[in-house]
Amino acid sequence: MLFEHLSWVQIAEHIGKHPRLILPIGSTEQHGEHLPVATDAIITLALAKQVGERTNTLVAPLLPYGINLECDAHFPGGISLNCSTLKEIVEISARTFVSWGAKDIIVITAHGCANGNYSFAHQEAIKAGLLPLERDRSARTHIIYPYWESFADILEKDECMEHAGEGETSLLLYLAADLVTMERAVDRPENEEFSFRAFPEGVGCPGDIPAGGSEGSPTSATAEKGRLIFERMVASAESYVRSLPLA
Identify the structural domains of the chain with CATH numbers, from first to last.
3-243 (3.40.50.10310)
Polymer length of the chain: 247
- Sequence-separated (6 or more) residues with CB below 8 Å from residue 182: 34, 169, 173, 218, 219, 221
Task: Give 139: exposed, middle or buried? Use CB within 10 Å, 0-12, 13-18, 19+.
Answer: buried
Taking the whole predicted model, whether its pTM rises above 0.85 is answered as: yes
- Cα torsion through 126, 127, 128, 134, rounded to 10: 130
Going from the C-alpha of 101 to that of each of 96, 98, 130, 225, the distances in angstroms are 9, 5, 16, 39
Q: Which residues pair with 63 in a beta bridge?
A: 25
Largest distance between two CA atoms of the chain: 53
pLDDT at 212: 80
pLDDT per position as a tens digit, 157-216: 998 888 899 999 999 999 999 999 999 999 987 655 555 444 444 455 545 555 688 889
pLDDT at 243: 93
Mean pLDDT of 100-121: 78
pLDDT at 121: 83
Range of lowest pLDDT (121-130, 169-178, 221-230): 121-130
Task: Report DSSP state, residue 159.
Answer: S
Average pLDDT value for the chain = 89
Q: How confident is the model at residue 116 (pLDDT cuts 50, 70, 90)?
A: very low
Mean pLDDT of 80-99: 96
